[in-house]
Structure 1
């Protein structure tokens, strides 16, 4: 294309400043959302991987067991193996800090071994306290904090930090720092023997890091060591451990990225609307250029260049906005956007060149995709006919494509039946795309239906608005395409989130049957209630019975993350939110109930045999049912507390549910528990408090989703505004005739408003239907394949109706404001123009 023609096409973007700006901004928002998600999770994953590598140090292999640990005699046996050069035992603890209302990862390390295997965890004694430095790391009350932990806790060397050990609050002395941990990892280290004694882990460790001798093959060594390990203890490579842990957040990251991609596609619809209308408005201009010798291909390339320029400019703006959004998100929601996958880390914002380049390319592709159909339409026009005034009306005579729409919807149904690829619901997202395409193809038929309904009123404005849409249904298609896509996305997410929230609420009610809950350390490993404490709680006046709960993890193989083990009284499964009916095991066999995630990940069902490593020994269970669990994505198994205690001899509990006698006050029993256990040793809450706190966390997690819904609707309204702005300018002659016939400027404005309302009503109605279908796919396919849990469909009818009314009203207002320019000029000049 020549420079002159290039300037002609690109210069037209400057002449339509509003339409160009809105299209550019729509693409920028889509690019910004996707890039921000990529930057945030990329930085979090990098920091997470760095932290995992820091903890692994120079180790070639890691021998890992359950959260409660395994016999430390295994360390001696492995250290003596011929393949092993160095071995370093580790006790990993998640320790509750009562004064700070949070937990702190503490690693018990062997100070004599740590420098060889993971030097980054080497403690450094405070400079001001060098006396006895050689033995400082071995003192029982010495704690060493990473720089990030010092900054977050506000504690420095020489000060003391209170931690929870069992039901005791113990004060530890901050003896120095762990400078090798860097600024991004919150952790602490202490002597392994001191950690074992203080936190009730005598004779138990959670991990052994191994450095192999030179020339030893890692895979061969792993195969040689694995057969001699106790049940529930696996030997892994550090890279495999990192991949397993990072994979837990993959579904969340992919889902947010797909939502951002849909927002970008919605921006592409807006480019389509503006370019299509621009082609209609400039049809005579293009016909004149064709008459002067411009080839069809050159015309099409020129229009594609316009779309590419809009996409490129939008992409550049989106890159800047994306980095800004990421910076704000780091401060507000953290590196996991509130989902809790990367807690305890502070990733740093940095410019991501590969991701920025990718999303810039996606912005350009969105611009090209939006300009493709309008450019093809311009290429097909006949110059002699297009030079005549009024020929642009032929562009808006869209023909319904019922077969194509049916094919898209049928294809979506088939894709929903296909399994995920690599754990990612690729076909589910393709089904969502086909539903949106099918909805847009249905739009012309729906517009015709709306015109039939709108023809019944006898008022002139209604009849004129109806006649316009009936004569040019493509106007409704062009203006309503963005509305359909954005409303469908917003409705789908609203139904999905409402269904999820309602299901979580009912799930919490089912799993919290007691009147009061006493928690020592539900997510940590430092606090626990011993048998004496449990007996004292049960003996309190007003307590009818108690329900102790023990949490742990078990490793079933080296291909999956450890699954959560929950041991509590279950009353044959009646105290669990079962999915389907329970299947009691044969007489003499122990029952176990697996979560939906565990059932999917390990291909388990009712009646299957399940072997759990308990107390270092394999114990056989029979799956008695599948239950719904929204707290543990990696899977969970629940067993009777009596069976757990019989297999392990472990009599402590993390939580205890307390059932109150009739007439007993919650506050009275809570005060009595604090009196016998200590003010800060335990947390006491009612089921209502736990449910409210959990739902607040849920809402914070989906804050990003709500923001994406708002952006999608905003882009759709941009589409209506831009479409009617261009249409109003293109219809100045028509409005001039109406003015000559006696219509006032206000009546012309109301006419444009009615057309906008009718168009938005058709797009919103179709968006509601398409959004419900998309929500079904998200709930039954995407969510199930991503997170392995189910939910019950809950449609917020009232909220959706209010939302639809607001969208239609805003669309009418946008059309009215956008058409204001058409009423500013002289009616005489408008009629004379090109006639």
Structure 2
């Protein structure tokens, strides 16, 4: 049966090849974009997971110092003698610098290990199997040798990549942040993927990082004697501040951190498929309209209503299968191109990467292919249902078809109201794991889109009532015909406008959201970067990329040089909050509340109450300013009292689970206000520098903000600053204008994919307009022939069509603008704050929106005029004669 229907469908598909090609293009692009985005996201996560696994190895447990200060080597000797331990491997971790092919320093991760003890757990840190290593096993423990991975080798000059070449590694001392250097020989390469990496013997790493007598972690593997890691931990009695836990799943952590971005990008890519479904719906409606006499003749010859509907669905199935297959191939190619162009931005190990065919996720490919087929069948469902209700005798007599299904008047306003209600739903609780995925906002946007489509008939009737009061409307035959048709065929108008309404509203919403975000970011940069120059150390300490403190002598020399009109020091660090184990970014500086991008009002401390913090007087509390992400993550509120812990300070849970652990002295504080932080998606704290220095007893700073005297340019000042520095290569100096320009470039690059997706959606919507207008014109061919017989000339018919199209497209453009503004409000005020914890000020670019709506209106009118010229030709007269 299906084979017979497909044989009948194929001539129709071939006869309408041009329009069917549009439908194939819509399905193909929708599937391709969705599949490509999925491949890019999954590839980045897989690559990061493989890189983390290669660096962390496969231990059962990892011992660390909770304060980040390192473990004593004596602890390693004690643990290694435990009879339950089969392997114990000490590891040093840090950051170092090398010079690239252009002589510029670049940072790379540094791992110092005992290769003889840890090779089983970290095989990817061993030299590549194809590389010849002089010295055999002794080279692995030679403190003069260093191995680099592929990402690090690519950054070096070609001559420096040869085995035996001398390399100078620089790093910041763990004690005072001073720059240290070590001359080593390149022994070869390791296969560890990911970002640039250097591997060396643990003794050399301890010397370079000034950690003699200390190690960062101990990787443990237990004997297979039936004892579990938890049971072994319960038997131990560690000194204070030691944490023991299984190795963290960095891939899962990155997946959690990037979930909101990946989901939003995937939903945006699916919008192209949704818009394509409307184009396919228009093509199917056009196919039915063109072949009404043939459908009716088939019905008279014995084809049942069910068989007619099945035949149309078989056409949609064939289009869906071909379009999905082409879309999967195109998506694979787009993902390959994306990895070549955007590989480094996706966190891949190489600047250029490819996906091997064996890496193709067949399950995901089948899912996206099935989605394309499903969308194709759903797009043809309504035309197929109308085809089942086709009055064949009436159509054969030339009386047309009245089988169109109308929507109830209450449906549109109800869906719009439902969308508003869904947008107001709070985010999911953090315990669900989907707190940063605003499902309510997505449901609200879908409800608003469907509600806007359902409201088109009512909007068209309202516009007709307004047209009735136009001067001379009652005496114009053309306006009378326009009014009567709009009143009787308002349901068909909603189908014709579905594509333009959805594509225009989505384009408007993205345009407003991205523009609002960009202007808010520009304002934020002007507030957060008020100085002329910014100075910091180029070296980093720790694996979190924390900037090393500036040399005290350099800071004092800059202050005494008279170079600046005003100088402001800043300290960047990490802190914890009592009751939470996460570490958050901290910036300590002089606070100017007038310049802070605050959200909401400033607050005083909450009244004193019970508990330790509640008994502290207000003057003894330090005011802090938290980012929106920290407020949402920990459910904090302005005025709330809380305790700041020194970096690595144990929280209550860790202290309870670690015998002998004690809390380090904390700083009682209260939330003075909430500020926007576009630089970090995780939480951040801003506090006064003097309060930080009194609390920590550390007067070192990590950044200098310099205001130059009036009339002085940045170039000479930068040269003087480098001359003051004892090691100019360890100092980074940037102008505020350069930082702003770089930030805006990063923003534009990050949102470039949304611009392309928006363009594809808009293009599909324009194709939908043309297809819908063609369907309307072909279905009305006999109507135009009758008007010509009654005395209308061809120019009168074209004027009628232009009036109808102009009115219809104007309603669609205004509805699309209004609906797009509603969607943009959901994006700006609901989706972005819930997904990324970033609020922004809504900005409406009136001129660009007017141009966009005008272009859509012109496209719709032009499509109607081109289709009307053909429909109002002499063939329309012959179509009427066929009924005589």
TM surpasses 0.5: yes
1:532 counterpart (526, 530, 553): 553
**Could you tell me how far apart the structure 1 residues matched to 2:413 and 2:635 are?**
35
1:657 and 2:667 aligned: no
1:716 counterpart (751, 765, 769): 765
After alignment, is 120-129 or 31-40 more displaced? 120-129
Match for residue 669 of structure 2? 622
Shift in Å, 1:437: 0.5
Secondary structure in structure 1 of the residue aligned to 2:776: helix
Match for residue 213 of structure 1? 223
Match for residue 48 of structure 2? 48
Shift in Å, 1:739: 5.3
1:637 counterpart (671, 685, 688): 685
1:269 counterpart (269, 278, 286): 278
1:107 and 2:107 aligned: no
So what's the TM-score if we normalise by structure 1? 0.89
**Could you tell me how far apart the structure 1 residues matched to 2:199 and 2:348 are?**
20
Runs of 5+ unmatched residues, structure 1 = none
Check whether the contact 1:236–1:558 (CA below 8 A) recurs between aligned residues.
Answer: no
1:569 and 2:589 aligned: yes
Distance change >3 Å, CA 345–CA 817, structure 1 → 2: same
Secondary structure in structure 1 of the residue aligned to 2:535: strand
Match for residue 404 of structure 1? 411
**Could you tell me how far apart the structure 1 residues matched to 2:579 and 2:165 are?**
41
1:580 and 2:600 aligned: yes
Secondary structure in structure 2 of the residue aligned to 1:298: helix
1:419 and 2:427 aligned: yes
1:806 and 2:855 aligned: yes
Match for residue 529 of structure 2? 512
Map 1:105-184 to 2 at 5 A. 105-123=109-127, 130=134, 134=138, 138-139=142-143, 142-154=145-157, 155-157=160-162, 158-160=164-166, 165-166=171-172, 172-173=183-184, 175-182=186-193
After alignment, is 596-605 or 82-91 more displaced? 82-91
Check whether the contact 2:133–2:188 (CA below 8 A) recurs between aligned residues.
Answer: no
Distance change >3 Å, CA 317–CA 557, structure 1 → 2: farther
Match for residue 728 of structure 1? 777
Secondary structure in structure 2 of the residue aligned to 1:634: coil
So what's the TM-score if we normalise by structure 2? 0.85
Match for residue 58 of structure 2? 58
**Could you tell me how far apart the structure 2 residues matched to 1:766 and 1:686 are?**
46
Deviation per CA, 1:74-120, whole angstroms, max 9, x where unpaired?
95365566654413323132647573464322323344543243231
Map 1:386-785 to 2 at 5 A. 386-392=395-401, 394-395=402-403, 399=406, 401-416=408-423, 417-420=425-428, 422-423=434-435, 424-452=437-465, 456=470, 468-521=485-538, 524-525=545-546, 527-554=548-575, 562-571=582-591, 576-585=596-605, 586-606=618-638, 607-614=640-647, 616=649, 617=664, 619-624=666-671, 625-677=673-725, 679-737=728-786, 752-785=801-834
Deviation per CA, 1:477-532, whole angstroms, max 9, x where unpaired?
12210111111111111111112112211111221122210132388357541211
Map 1:226-245 to 2 at 5 A. 230=241, 235-238=244-247, 240-245=249-254
Check whether the contact 2:99–2:156 (CA below 8 A) recurs between aligned residues.
Answer: no
1:381 counterpart (386, 390, 397): 390
**Could you tell me how far apart the structure 2 residues matched to 1:344 and 1:539 are?**
45
Deviation per CA, 1:143-166, whole angstroms, max 9, x where unpaired?
321123223444513445566545
Match for residue 353 of structure 1? 362
After alignment, is 249-258 or 321-330 more displaced? 321-330
Shift in Å, 1:643: 3.9
**Could you tell me how far apart the structure 2 residues matched to 1:461 and 1:94 are?**
79
**Could you tell me how far apart the structure 2 residues matched to 1:767 and 1:52 are?**
47
**Could you tell me how far apart the structure 1 residues matched to 2:318 and 2:130 are?**
59
Secondary structure in structure 2 of the residue aligned to 1:799: helix
After alignment, is 521-530 or 354-363 more displaced? 521-530
Check whether the contact 2:285–2:775 (CA below 8 A) recurs between aligned residues.
Answer: no
Check whether the contact 1:226–1:235 (CA below 8 A) recurs between aligned residues.
Answer: no
**Could you tell me how far apart the structure 2 residues matched to 1:405 and 1:812 are?**
25
Q: CA RMSD in A?
A: 3.4
Check whether the contact 1:199–1:526 (CA below 8 A) recurs between aligned residues.
Answer: no
Deviation per CA, 1:553-595, whole angstroms, max 9, x where unpaired?
44669997x4432232133756642222333552223333221
**Could you tell me how far apart the structure 1 residues matched to 2:64 and 2:265 are?**
32
Distance change >3 Å, CA 96–CA 619, structure 1 → 2: farther
Shift in Å, 1:764: 1.9
Check whether the contact 1:24–1:314 (CA below 8 A) recurs between aligned residues.
Answer: yes
**Could you tell me how far apart the structure 1 residues matched to 2:302 and 2:92 are?**
79
Shift in Å, 1:139: 3.0
**Could you tell me how far apart the structure 2 residues matched to 1:761 and 1:636 are?**
48
Shift in Å, 1:360: 0.6
**Could you tell me how far apart the structure 2 residues matched to 1:224 and 1:576 are?**
51
Secondary structure in structure 2 of the residue aligned to 1:543: coil
Aligned length in residues: 825
Check whether the contact 2:289–2:778 (CA below 8 A) recurs between aligned residues.
Answer: no
Distance change >3 Å, CA 391–CA 744, structure 1 → 2: closer
